[in-house]
C-alpha cells in the first residue's frame, strides 16, 4: 500500500471528487461516517463525547462526526476553537447543519475551556493534515489543556499539530492521542518512532478514494499489508524434495553466545530451508547438535570464536545457496578476517546481522565487498555505527535510502514498523510486530528466517519484505498466547507459521 504526501492526498481528494464524481461535502460526510463507524464499534452511547473542532476541513469532519453521533443518540458537546476569522466552506456547511441539532460552544480564550474528566472521550478535530505552521496562541493553549486532562483522546486523521510528512520542531505542541483514526492511507508521520506520543495506536478507515490516482502516484514509501505479503509467499510443489529448497549456511555464535546461533538455526528450519549447516566455534558444537538435531554442524577451528571451518576439505562457500552471518559472533579481529574471506568468496546475496554489521562499521572497506542485493538487518544503533548520527526520523530515512541505493543492498532497519530500504530507493514499512518483541534474540530469529528465504530462491527484495512481515506476524501470534511481557525469542520461532 502506498504512503502519499500531503500534496498528493490533496490531489487524491480532488481526483476522487472529479472522477467518481462526488461533491466535496459528500466526501467529508463519507470520511466522518467512517470515523463514526469505527468509534461506535468501540464506545457505547453512554460515553460523554467532547468534540474539539478547528476551522478547516478537519474541523468540518469534527462537526459532521458530532452530528452523526448525536443522531445515534450519543451524548455530544462540541467546542469550536475560534482562532481565526476565516473558516473553510465545508466547515461552514457542517456548522450550519449541526446548529439545527445543538448549539456548539466557542473557545475564544482560556476561560472557555471545559473541565475534562476521566470518563470523557475527546475527539480531536482541531487541525488535520493541512497545517502549514506550528500550533500557537489559542490553538496551542487548547492542545496543552487537552493533553493535561485525564480524558481519552482520539484524533481525527492526524493529531492536531503533527506534520504528516515532515519533521516537527522539538518544541512544537501536538495532541497526544490514545488513538489516531486516519483516512484511507497511512501517513508517514504515523510510522516514525519520534512521533510515538503524537500518534498513540493508529487505525486506518476506508473512505474509498480514487484508486487510479493512487496507482499512478509516485512515492518511495510503502506500507506492507497482509494481502501484499501473502502474494509473495510461495507454495511448495508437490514433487519437490529437500534439494528444491536450498542449502543454507549460518555463521553464528561465540563463547557465551551460542544461543543466538541456536535461535537463528531454529528459525531457519521453521522457514522452509531444505538443508541447513551451521558453523559455530568448537564450544558450540555439542550445543547445536543437541538443540537443533535437524541442522548439520560444522565446527570452527577455534574453540571460542568464529574464524574458519576445521574441515577445510568440506564443502566450499560457493556450494551453499545462501549464507547468514552475525548472530552472537563477537567482534574479534580473527572473526573480522573470516568475514572478509566469506564476503570475498561468496557472490550470492548474504544476510548480515548483529556483530557482522558492527565489524562492517569498524572495517568500512568490508562494506564494498558485500554481494549485490545482500540483506543487512541493523537495529537503529547498528545503523548509526554503519552511517552517522541523524537529526530526526526523516533525516534517518534519507540516510537509509541513500545507503541502500549507494551500496545496492537491502537494509532492514528494525524496530516498530521496521523499514525495509531497497536498492531502488523504495522503503517498505512493516505492519506487523509488537513491543513484546523488544527482547534479546528476536533479531537472531529474523536472520535465520531471511537466510532460509534466500536459500529457497526468493528474490532478496521479496525475501526482506515478506520475511519481516512473517517475523512480526509470528511475534503477534506469540503475544496472543503469551501476552507481550512474557514473550521470548523462542516463542517467536515456535509461532512461525507460513500459511495465512
Ligand X SMILES: Nc1ncnc2c1ncn2[C@@H]1O[C@H](COP(=O)(O)OP(=O)(O)O)[C@@H](O)[C@H]1O
Contact call for residue 57 and K ion (CB under 5 A): no
- Was 282 annotated as part of a binding site? no
Nearest 5°: the CA angle 137, 141, 142 is 120
Asked if 482 touches ligand X (CB under 6 A), the answer is no
440 is known to lie in a ligand binding site: no
**Please, what is the minimum distance in Å from the beta carbon of residue 12 to ligand NPW?**
6
> Footprint of ligand NPW on this chain (CB under 6 A)?
9, 13, 27-28, 31, 54, 56-61, 83-84, 88, 127-135, 139, 156-158, 183-184, 209
Considering only residues 124 through 163, tell me which ones interact with K ion, judged by CB under 5 A. Answer: 124, 155-156, 160
Does 433 sit near ligand X (CB under 6 A)?
Answer: yes
Q: How far is the CB of 467 from ligand X (least distance, A)?
A: 10
Q: How many residues bind K ion (CB under 5 A)?
A: 5
CB of 58 to K ion, least distance (A): 5
For residue 27, the partner it binds in ligand X, K ion, ligand NPW, none, with Cβ less than 5 to 8 A by kind, is ligand NPW
How long, in residues, is the chain? 500
CB of 494 to ligand X, least distance (A): 16
- Using the rule CB under 5 A, is 164 a contact of K ion? no
110 forms part of the interface with ligand X (CB under 6 A): no
Per partner kind, with CB cut-offs from 5 to 8 A, the member of K ion, ligand X, ligand NPW, none near residue 56 is ligand NPW
Q: Which residues are annotated as a binding site for (6S)-NADPHX?
A: 57-61, 128-134, 157, 260, 328, 379, 444
Q: Residues in the site for ligand X, rule: CB under 6 A? A: 354, 379, 414-416, 418, 433-435, 437-438, 440-444, 446, 471
Q: Residues in the site for K ion, rule: CB under 5 A? A: 58, 124, 155-156, 160
Q: Which residues are annotated as a binding site?
A: 57-61, 124, 128-134, 157, 160, 260, 328, 379, 414-418, 443-444
Amino acid at each position: 500500500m502506498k504512503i502519499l504526501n500531503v500534496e498528493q492526498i490533496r490531489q487524491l481528494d480532488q481526483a476522487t471528487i472529479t472522477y467518481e464524481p462526488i461533491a466535496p461535502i459528500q466526501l467529508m460526510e463519507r470520511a466522518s461516517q467512517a470515523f463514526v463507524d469505527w468509534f461506535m464499534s468501540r464506545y457505547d452511547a453512554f460515553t460523554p463525547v467532547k468534540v474539539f473542532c478547528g476551522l478547516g476541513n478537519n474541523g468540518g469532519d469534527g462537526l459532521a462526526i458530532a452530528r452523526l453521533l448525536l443522531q445515534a443518540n450519543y451524548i455530544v458537546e462540541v467546542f469550536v476553537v475560534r482562532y481565526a476569522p476565516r473558516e473553510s466552506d465545508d466547515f461552514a456547511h457542517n456548522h450550519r447543519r449541526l446548529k439545527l441539532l445543538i448549539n456548539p460552544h466557542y473557545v475564544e480564550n482560556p476561560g472557555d475551556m471545559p473541565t475534562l474528566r476521566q470518563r470523557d472521550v475527546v475527539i480531536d478535530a482541531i487541525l488535520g493534515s493541512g497545517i502549514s505552521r506550528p500550533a500557537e496562541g489559542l490553538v496551542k493553549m487548547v492542545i496543552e489543556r487537552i493533553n493535561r486532562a485525564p480524558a481519552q483522546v482520539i484524533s481525527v486523521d492526524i493529531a492536531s499539530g503533527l506534520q504528516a510528512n515532515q519533521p516537527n520542531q522539538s518544541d512544537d505542541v501536538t495532541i497526544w492521542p490514545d488513538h489516531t483514526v486516519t483516512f484511507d492511507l497511512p501517513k508517514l508521520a504515523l510510522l516514525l518512532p519520534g512521533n510515538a506520543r503524537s500518534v498513540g495506536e493508529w487505525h486506518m478507515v476506508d473512505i474509498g478514494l480514487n484508486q487510479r490516482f493512487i496507482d499512478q502516484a509516485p512515492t518511495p514509501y510503502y506500507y506492507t499489508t497482509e494481502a501484499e505479503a501473502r502474494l509473495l509467499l510461495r507454495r511448495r510443489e508437490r514433487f519437490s524434495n529437500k534439494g528444491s529448497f536450498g542449502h543454507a549456511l549460518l555463521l553464528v555464535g561465540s563463547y557465551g553466545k551460542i544461543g543466538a546461533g541456536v535461535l537463528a538455526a531454529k528459525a531457519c528450519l521453521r522457514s522452509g530451508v531444505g538443508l541447513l549447516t551451521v558453523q559455530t566455534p568448537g564450544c558450540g558444537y555439542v550445543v547445536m547438535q543437541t538443540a537443533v538435531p535437524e541442522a548439520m554442524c560444522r565446527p570452527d577451528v577455534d574453540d571460542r570464536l568464529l574464524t574458519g571451518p576445521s574441515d577445510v576439505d568440506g564443502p566450499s562457500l560457493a556450494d551453499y545457496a545462501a549464507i547468514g552471518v552475525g548472530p552472537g559472533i563477537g567482534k574479534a579481529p580473527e572473526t573480522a578476517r573470516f568475514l572478509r574471506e566469506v564476503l570475498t568468496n561468496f557472490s550470492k546475496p548474504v544476510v548480515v546481522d548483529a556483530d557482522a554489521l558492527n565489524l562492517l562499521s569498524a572495517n568500512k572497506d568490508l562494506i564494498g565487498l558485500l554481494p549485490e542485493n545482500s540483506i543487512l538487518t541493523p537495529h537503529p544503533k547498528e545503523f548509526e555505527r554503519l552511517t552517522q548520527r541523524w537529526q530526526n526520523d526523516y533525516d534517518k530515512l534519507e540516510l537509509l535510502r541513500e545507503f541502500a541505493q549507494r551500496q545496492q543492498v537491502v537494509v532492514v532497519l528494525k524496530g516498530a514498523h521496521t523499514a525495509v530500504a531497497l536498492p531502488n530507493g523504495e522503503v517498505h514499512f512493516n505492519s506487523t510486530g509488537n513491543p513484546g518483541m523488544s527482547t534479546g534474540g528476536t533479531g537472531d530469529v529474523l536472520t535465520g528466517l531471511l537466510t532460509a528465504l534466500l536459500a529457497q530462491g526468493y528474490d532478496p527484495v521479496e525475501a526482506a519484505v515478506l520475511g519481516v512481515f512473517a517475523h512480526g506476524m509470528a511475534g503477534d501470534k506469540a503475544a496472543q498466547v503469551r501476552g507481550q511481557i512474557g514473550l521470548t525469542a523462542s516463542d517467536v520461532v515456535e509461532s512461525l507459521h507460513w500459511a495465512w
